[in-house]
Every structure is written in structure tokens, then in C-alpha cells.
Amino acid sequence: MLPEMKSSFDEFIKGIKKFGIMPHLRFRRSQSGDVTEHDWVFLVNTRPPHNGAHIGRCCTCCIGNGSINDYDHFKESFSYEEYETIVNLLFDYIYTDAQYKSIQS
């Protein structure tokens, strides 16, 4: 089942920053122009004791292109409710229309 909520880049970033998460942006498609590359957002925890732990990635240039991989200690850095909210924000953003979720300059 796909999420009903649409999440723009600004809404997504605002939502994750509430939890002390820093987005790590990788603009491969934008920089190279190669359509086989993608622009990614990785989520990195900034709160001790597990600062630097990260979760998944999502594509800013495609719909449905992303993965939610829980790397070491990311989940332990948050309460159950916080973690679920973060995963839902990521999932909603992954399945948002590419034009709506793209980074606007």
C-alpha cells in the first residue's frame, strides 16, 4: 500500500530535523547529467551516543526508488515512536511524485 501523504523536500527535511537527523545529500545525476545515476538523501543521526549512525537512502529524482536499511545503532538512538515516525517520513518521501519532491533552487 502506497502512502497517501505527499512530502516535498522542504517538508521532509523539516520533519527529520526535529529528531536530530542530518540529511547527507549526494547529487550524482545532477552533477553528471547521467540518467543512470541518482540524487540521494541519506539520513544521519547527530545525537549521542550513536551520532553518525545512519539509515537508508531515498532518491530525489525518482518515484519509489529508495531503501530503508537500518545500519548499526540508528534504531537504538530513538524511541519506538520516533523511529516509526522517521521511517514513515522516509517512506512517504520515497513515494512522492518526483516533481513535487524535487529540490527547488
Q: How is residue 27 written as a grid cell?
A: 547529487
What confidence tens digit (pLDDT) does each residue in 62-103 have? 888 887 777 778 888 899 999 999 988 988 888 888 888 877
56: left (phi over 0), alpha (psi -120 to 50) or beta: left
Q: What are phi and psi of 24, to 5 degrees?
A: -110, 115
What confidence tens digit (pLDDT) does each residue in 42-61 have? 899 998 888 888 888 888 88
Q: What are phi and psi of 59, to 5 degrees?
A: -90, 135
Using omega within 30 degrees of 0 as the cis cutoff, is the peptide bond preceding 49 cis? yes
Sequence-ordered list of residues with C-beta below 8 angstroms from that of 26, at least 6 positions apart, any chain: 39, 40, 41, 42
- pTM for this one? 0.82
